Amino acid sequence: MKRVLLACGMVCAAVLVAAAQTGFDPAKLVNPGTEAWPSYNGDYTGRRFSTLTKINDGNITALSLAWVYRLNPGAGGTQNPGSIKGTPLQVNGVMYLTAPDHVWALDARTGREIWHFAWQSKGGIHIGNRGAAILGDYLFFETPDCNLVSLNVKDGRERWHKEICDLDQFYYGSVAPIVIKNHVIAGVSGDDLDVPGYIQSHDPETGEMQWRWYVVPQKKGEPGAETWPNEDAMKHGGGMTWQPVTYDPELNQMYVTTGNPQPVIAHVNRAGANLYTASIVSLNPDTGKMNWYFQSSPHDTHDWDSTQTAVLIDGTVNGQPRKLVAQAARNGHFFLLDRTNGAAIVSAEYVKTNWAKGYDEKGQPVPNPEKHPQIAGALVTPNQGGAANWPPPTFSPQTGLFYVNATRAFSVYYIYDPGENPQGWGGTDRGGWGEAMMQAIDYKTGKVKWSHKWEGGSRAGLLSTAGNLVFSGGASSDLVALNATTGDALWHAGLNSSVSNGPITYELDGLQYVVVGAGDTLWSFVMNERPAARR
């Protein structure tokens, strides 16, 4: 019996190691198939849509628990790794999960830990980590103390690390890098000091920086400088690149979404549109040169970054096939653009707002000056948290609907630094009533086809599938599946905490899994039964 157990142990270990030692074919980053989830959004499009149908609207009630993994910082772990705010990767049966300063490799079939890497931190803001990137046998992730780190997927050993920002200026690393060809694209975080946002590219082999693109101009004469009053304002103008980029390989354009300008609330010393903050920007990933921009929130004064995912849609407009990009922005407006040149096709509210007077000739909202923050206060909707925030939306080509968890909330915005040269925030908002719902938006018109209210709120990320399902966190610390066509609630499972990331799905051994993070725990569900006939 002992020998049998020993033999089994050796076989199991061999299988485990084989799974962990297999890298990821870089060519599959463009078309990853259904057996992998190899990047933050699953593929370059940002759609978070899976063609898998083994879990569908006809059999979802048979979905069952496969395994649970609770974040384990290890025996030497000195810091609580916090919540799972990142999207795990799944490649060749191995899942790569992150939290600030931590990476775990897990067996995607069982949830067993294969290896764990802990970064010895020098500090930084540990608010969350959005995930890792993979290329071949290499893994990449950011740390709160401003490093881009590469690990070997075989054993989690460090290959190299490179400083990507200045910890002393209160930058930090939280963004999930994205691999595009021989570039590791890394954004930066931080909005406590008035420092410029940027995004940069690194060589996957050596870690050396290839280029850096500043969101805000750094000197007079640069593109966008005309939208700032002076060089000092633009050099301290913010615009962090909080979120992973999306990418069109055919156009070789990557779509960067940028943060709000600084100072955040008090704004008298940054008159102008403040380009290229709060924008969707198309860059060439080989050079970092800008192709075009669209500013979702010109001269923002409400902390509404526009870093919500720029989702690529290959659709039709007026009967013509078009390459499109869509965003449900934090300011409450939905935009549909031609992604070849940034021209707006649709601009529309996806929740009712009160801060804009309409749209300009480019389709960009025109702020109402009366709804800028005031010393005596201005009632504004959405509130500072926004109509949407960082949790990712999803788009289903099957239904033609863009799904986003939205909040309609009011707050009063105040200025508390009325001077001529405010810094930092210089104001704030005080919140009031709000309500949360999932909005299903017809991408061609921007109109909300259906709205599913969350009693008690939800800000979870989303996943849609060809099984006519949308997965989301619900209002009761649960994972919920809605009918993607109608918004009807079909199934839920109670978790130990609210969903804190975006769910993913993949197929292994003929079984479809759905995996979601809730607080410090990763939950894996699987459909064990044969696919049922669709209703």
Partner 1 sequence: MDDFNVTLREASGEYRTIRRGPAVKVVKEDPLAAHHALLETITDQQIHDLVAYLETLK
Chain residues binding partner 1 by CB under 8 A are 370, 374, 376-379, 381, 410, 412, 432-433, 454-456, 474-476, 478, 480, 489, 492
Nearest residue (CB) to partner 1, 21 versus 353: 353
CA nearest 327: which of 236, 255, 411? 255
CB of 214 to partner 1, least distance (A): 36
Pairing of strands 198-202, 183-187: antiparallel
Q: How many residues does the chain have?
A: 535
Nearest residue (CB) to partner 1, 376 versus 533: 376
Judge contact between 201 and 254, C-beta under 8 A: no
Query: How many CB atoms within 10 Å of residue 360?
Result: 14
Tell me whether residue 303 is one of the annotated catalytic residues.
yes
For residue 296, give Cα distances in angstroms to 143, 221, 368, 440: 29, 23, 14, 20
Collapsed DSSP state (helix, strand, coil) of residue 29: helix
Q: At a CB cut-off of 8 Å and minimum separation 6, what does 183 contact?
A: 201, 202, 203, 204, 210, 285, 286
CA dihedral 95, 97, 103, 106 (to 10 degrees): -30
Judge contact between 486 and 450, C-beta under 8 A: yes
Nearest residue (CB) to partner 1, 86 versus 473: 473
Query: How many CB atoms within 10 Å of residue 304?
Result: 28
Running DSSP on this structure, what letter comes out for residue 159? Answer: E
Nearest residue (CB) to partner 1, 37 versus 454: 454
Which member of 145, 191, 303, 305 is catalytic?
303
CA nearest 312: which of 47, 81, 99, 68? 47
Nearest residue (CB) to partner 1, 327 versus 439: 439
Nearest residue (CB) to partner 1, 426 versus 474: 474
> Which residues are registered as beta bridge partners of 24?
136
Radius of gyration of the chain (CA): 22
E strand or H helix at 8: helix 2-21
Judge contact between 446 and 350, C-beta under 8 A: yes
Nearest residue (CB) to partner 1, 134 versus 514: 514
Judge contact between 48 and 463, C-beta under 8 A: yes
Q: At a CB cut-off of 8 Å and minimum separation 6, what does 426 contact?
A: 263, 264, 265, 266, 267, 415, 416, 417
Nearest residue (CB) to partner 1, 266 versus 336: 266
Judge contact between 225 and 234, C-beta under 8 A: yes
CB of 61 to partner 1, least distance (A): 11
Catalytic residues: 303
